[in-house]
């Protein structure tokens, strides 16, 4: 369901058209299912991690670091839902970043940051 929100479609378009450059980092804080969906959307369905480190409790709090080829990473924090913690989803590229605004499980807005060259 999350994949079909307009904000997700816009984020996907910004990645596919190269507006933020090559994706090098994904940061996501929320439930395991949602964070893994965001990683797949950012890096592509065919991209598989070359190393995964996971810590935490089954069905509870925890985290993971996924390493991909070409020095690319995903840093995920798993938080219980509902939670008072912020839901965060950020895609960082070589030219800029896209942040899906809260709530991440039903994003309705995004922030695009593309710094000007100095």
pLDDT tens-digit profile of 45-99? 899 999 999 999 876 788 999 999 999 999 998 876 665 667 779 999 999 999 9
Backbone angles phi, psi at 30, to 5 degrees: 180, -155
Question: Which of 40, 31, 41 minimizes the C-alpha distance to 87?
Answer: 31
The residue among 37, 21, 19, 18 whose CA lies nearest residue 89 is 37
Greater confidence (33 vs 111) lies with 111
Burial class (CB in 10 A: 0-12, 13-18, 19+), 25: middle
């Amino acid at each position: 369901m999350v994949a079909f929100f307009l904000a997700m479609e816009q984020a996907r378009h910004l990645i596919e058209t190269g507006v933020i450059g090559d994706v090098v980092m994904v940061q996501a804080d929320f439930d395991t299912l949602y964070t893994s969906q965001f990683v797949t959307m950012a890096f592509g369905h065919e991209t598989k991690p070359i190393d995964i480190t996971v810590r935490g409790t089954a069905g509870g709090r925890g985290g993971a670091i996924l390493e991909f080829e070409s020095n690319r990473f995903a840093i995920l924090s798993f938080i219980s839902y509902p939670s008072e913690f912020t839901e965060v989803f950020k895609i960082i590229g070589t030219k800029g970043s896209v942040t899906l605004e809260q709530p991440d499980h039903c994003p309705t807005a995004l922030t695009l940051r593309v710094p000007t060259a100095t």
